[in-house]
Amino acid sequence: MDVVVVGAGVIGAACADALSAAGLRVTVLDRGPLASGTSAAGEGNILVSDKEPGPELDLALSSLSRWPALVGDTDIEWDPKGGLVVATGDPAPLAHFAAVQREAGVDARWITPAEALEREPHLTTRVTAAVHYPQDAQVQPVLAAQALLSNVRRRGGVLRPGVTVVGLDARGVHTSEGVIACDHVVNACGPWSGEVSRALGAPIAIAPRRGMVLVTAPLPPTVHHKVYDADYVGAVASGDADLQTSTVVESTAAGTILIGSSRERVGFDESIRIRVLRELARKAVALFPSLADVPVMRAYGGFRPYAPDHLPVIGADPRIPGLWHATGHEGAGIGLAAATGALLAELLTGATPHLDPTPFRVDRPGVLECV
């Protein structure tokens, strides 16, 4: 093999897709079933509305433009529903945020509270300001990852679920099923990237950040956009290890309502915390009062790959020739996957990068760990 991609979530799938499209022979490994980790626990958001101007927004805009062509006619439940960000207090911070985003190329449309209620009739009347983001979209994340992996398979790539990586040396990647000889290895293991990087001999500071989601029973059309309170942006950017919650409400193609979001650094603790679910429900009802009596069908959690500076890690590891990383996207992996795969493939093959890779380099402060 030319390249072994470790991790079959949406980031690994996007990297494998781009590398195989560039003509390389690719094998994708995952210790579990394909697309069964973080990608299976996400909401499938492809967002520009929550990102400040800078490298991550540049990556998001690039990715947004690439997603439709990547999957073609494959049904991944693509829904260009748009986003609606609302303030229920002082509107000034939201107005400033939208203004700087517009300068960076985001379609951020300031609308009145009355116009927000026209778009979302079930929204609280306490809204003081709102911004409509028509570029925001949603996909079914597992279907999206599987579509990319299908592209790899059609080009002759090999998909091997149930294979654990245990080491790396001059002979190749050591796995639970033997050694795979290759020229390059891509660590795309999401929240497990830190653990896998240590097994490969080049540790990076990626840690899990837990998130929870409530899912309602199917409803008639109730929520038409991805709707969230303006404090969501602050929660995403926070590095606090303690619980952070903010209101995010959106519908799915099946009619269920997804209610989030939470963030806390608790390692890989999978226990359900009732206080987190209560907080999510309370804030959702404050934003959409009609949800108060709607039954909750289930709740689930997942782990997001957290980097100390909140930027993805994309590029070559300076310590081991042939080792690459594509991780640290936290909760934005679906939205950033397409451009991440393209950038990783450009760097690995020596092509001219379509955007500046410097902010995402592996050897930036805080990312490298001592062996």
- Pick the closest to residue 207 from 216, 219, 198 (CA basis): 198
Residue 326 within a domain: yes
CA 250 to chain centre: 16
Domain count, the chain: 2
3-state per-residue secondary structure call for the chain: CCEEEECCCHHHHHHHHHHHHCCCCEEEEECCCCCCCHHHHCCCEECCCCCCCCHHHHHHHHHHHHHHHHHCCCCCCCECCCEEEEECCCCHHHHHHHHHHHHCCCCCEEECHHHHHHHCCCCCCCCCEEEEECCCEECCHHHHHHHHHHHHHHCCCEEEECCCEEEEECCEEEECCEEECCCEEEECCHHHHHHHHHHHCCCECCEEEEEEEEEECCCCCCCCCEEEECCHHHHHHCCCCCCEEEEEEEECCCCCEEEEEEEECECECCCCCHHHHHHHHHHHHHHCHHHHHCCEEEEEEEEEEECCCCCCEEEECCCCCCEEEEECCHHHHHHHHHHHHHHHHHHHHCCCCCCCCHHHCCCCCCCECCC
Range of the structural domain that residue 28 is part of: 2-71+140-206+309-360
Tell me which amino acid residue 48 is: V
pLDDT at 68: 85
pTM, rounded to two decimals: 0.94
pLDDT at 370: 53
Same-domain pairing of 227 and 130: yes
Where does residue 162 fall: left (phi above 0), alpha (psi -120 to 50 degrees), or beta otherwise? left
Same-domain pairing of 314 and 202: yes
Helices 141-154 & 55-71 angle (0-180, nearest 10) = 60
pLDDT at 371: 46
28 close to 8: Cβ distance less than 8 angstroms: yes
pLDDT at 253: 84
Measured CA to CA in angstroms, residue 238 lies from 30, 140, 262, 268, 330 at distances of 30, 26, 12, 19, 12
Same-domain pairing of 114 and 234: yes
Residue 239 within a domain: yes
Same-domain pairing of 284 and 331: no
Same-domain pairing of 148 and 289: no
Query: Is residue 209 classed exposed, middle or buried when 0-12, 13-18 and 19+ CB atoms within 10 A define those classes?
Result: buried
- Please confirm whether the linkage preceding 261 is cis (ω < 30° from 0): yes
Final residue in a domain of this structure, among 258, 279, 305: 305
CA 316 to chain centre: 21
Residue 276 within a domain: yes
Final residue in a domain of this structure, among 258, 276, 305: 305
Same-domain pairing of 272 and 164: no
Residue 279 within a domain: yes
Same-domain pairing of 217 and 120: yes
Residue 365 within a domain: no
Same-domain pairing of 62 and 158: yes
Same-domain pairing of 197 and 185: yes
- Pick the closest to residue 212 from 170, 174, 269, 252 (CA basis): 269
Residue 77 within a domain: no
- Pick the closest to residue 196 from 96, 317, 333, 115 (CA basis): 317
Find the CATH number of the domain harbouring 160: 3.50.50.60
Neighbours of 74 (CB within 10 A): 14
pLDDT at 244: 76
Find the CATH number of the domain harbouring 103: 3.30.9.10
Same-domain pairing of 220 and 300: yes
Tens-digit pLDDT string for the chain (371 aa): 899 999 999 999 999 999 999 999 999 999 999 999 999 988 889 999 999 999 999 999 999 999 988 878 889 999 999 999 999 989 999 999 999 999 999 999 999 999 999 999 999 999 999 999 999 999 999 999 999 999 999 999 999 999 999 999 999 999 999 999 999 999 999 999 999 999 999 999 999 999 999 999 999 999 999 999 987 665 454 555 567 788 899 998 889 999 988 888 889 988 888 899 999 999 999 999 999 999 999 998 899 999 999 999 999 999 999 999 999 999 999 999 999 999 999 999 999 999 999 999 999 999 987 54
Residue 277 within a domain: yes
pLDDT at 287: 95
Residue 60 within a domain: yes
CA distance 258 to 68: 23
Same-domain pairing of 105 and 33: no
Same-domain pairing of 233 and 300: yes
Final residue in a domain of this structure, among 261, 284, 305: 305
